[in-house]
């Protein structure tokens, strides 16, 4: 019976203050859209960062006079390094074939011999380890360095690290924006609930005088805030999912080298198992309930 009473009181208050209710719903909607964007973009950035890290490769060019036994010994030494994940040998013929695929065979068709050296492609477990691993090859006798240089060992660590730093910066910026809008949502919901309390302040005072507990008085307003937050969050989650799906579909059909991850709506079954809708619905409901409790603090001081 009490649950029905609390719910009917909350719904009646929402109807009476529908303008402020709509404002609060829109604020929660914006907040959850931003958070949903953070979740979707964060997952795509994490996958992109993982892909970049997996592509961090050190190319070690070796001298033409290197014997097969020396190549095998070198490969075994590299594989024994704990930082190394994989080593691939690229022969001179394979290097020439890749070069022809990139620039066209007409560039090399008149060459009397193959000028490209054989090489080893070394993949590391962590992009931050690439400098340490590369430094071990600089003075190796089989590495094809130009005299006075270390150009026989090449990798794009600085470029990859700069991209990873940019990804982290974007991720932190979006989390900061989410926090700002979450605070704004709590404040606006608390303002909406406060207007409802003000309109019923005498009723609240009478309930206190007749012995009603603080929680008996508080529940309708907490439910009011919860419903406001829940509606805004559900709308936000559905909007984020539709946009995420549309962007991923467009990339799939328009751009060959980019693929966006579609964040599941209900369940993803990974580190955080819930999909967009339950995650944002819980968050929106919590924000709304907190807003309702914040609004009542001045009226229910013990």
Please tell me the class of the 57-155 domain.
alpha beta
Domains of the chain by residue range: 2-52+161-296, 57-155
What is the model's pLDDT at position 7? 61
Q: What is the pLDDT along the chain (302 residues), one digit of tens a residue?
A: 466 655 666 566 666 666 667 777 787 788 778 778 877 877 777 777 667 666 678 888 988 888 889 889 888 998 899 888 888 888 888 888 877 777 666 666 666 777 788 898 888 887 777 888 888 888 888 888 887 777 788 887 666 677 767 777 877 877 787 777 777 767 766 676 666 666 666 766 666 677 666 667 677 777 777 888 888 888 888 998 888 888 888 877 776 556 677 778 787 766 667 778 888 888 878 877 777 777 666 655 54
The candidate with the shortest Cα–Cα distance to 258, out of 246, 248, 273, 270, is 248
- pLDDT of 277: 85
- Which pLDDT does position 302 carry in this prediction? 47
Q: Alpha-carbon Rg of the chain, whole angstroms?
A: 31
| pLDDT for the residue numbered 226 | 82
Between helices 214-254 and 201-209, what is the axis angle to 10°? 130
Nearest to 86 by CA among 60, 120, 62: 120
Report residue 42 as tokens. Answer: 């964060």
- Quickly count: other Cβ atoms within 10 Å of residue 259's Cβ: 13
Residue that is written with structure tokens 């009646």 in the block: 12
């Amino acid at each position: 019976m009490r649950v029905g009473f609390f719910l009917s009181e909350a719904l009646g208050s929402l109807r009476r203050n529908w303008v402020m209710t709509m404002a609060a719903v829109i604020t929660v909607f914006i907040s959850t859209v931003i958070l949903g964007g953070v979740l979707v973009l964060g997952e795509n950035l994490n996958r992109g960062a993982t892909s970049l890290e997996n592509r961090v490769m050190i190319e070690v060019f070796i001298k033409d006079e290197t014997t097969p036994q020396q190549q095998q010994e070198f490969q075994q030494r590299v594989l024994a390094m704990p930082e190394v994940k994989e080593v691939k040998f690229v022969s001179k013929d394979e290097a020439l074939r890749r070069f022809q695929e990139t620039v066209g065979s007409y560039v090399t068709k008149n060459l009397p011999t193959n000028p490209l050296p054989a090489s080893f492609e070394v993949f590391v477990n962590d992009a931050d380890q690439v400098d340490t691993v590369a430094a071990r090859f600089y003075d190796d006798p089989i590495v094809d360095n130009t005299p006075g240089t270390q150009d026989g060992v090449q990798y794009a660590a600085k470029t990859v690290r700069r991209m990873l730093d940019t990804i982290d910066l974007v991720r932190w910026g979006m989390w900061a924006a989410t926090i700002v809008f979450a605070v704004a949502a709590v404040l606006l919901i608390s303002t909406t609930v406060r207007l409802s309390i003000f309109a019923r302040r005498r009723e609240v005072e009478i309930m206190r005088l007749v012995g009603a507990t603080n929680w008996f008085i508080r529940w309708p307003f907490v439910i009011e805030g919860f419903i406001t937050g829940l509606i805004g969050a559900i709308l936000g989650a559905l909007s984020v999912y539709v946009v995420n799906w549309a962007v991923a579909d467009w990339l799939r059909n328009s751009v060959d080298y980019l693929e966006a991850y579609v964040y599941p709506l209900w369940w993803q079954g990974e580190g955080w198992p819930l999909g967009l809708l339950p995650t944002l619905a819980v968050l929106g409901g919590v924000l709304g309930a907190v807003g309702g409790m914040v609004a009542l603090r001045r009226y229910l001081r013990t």
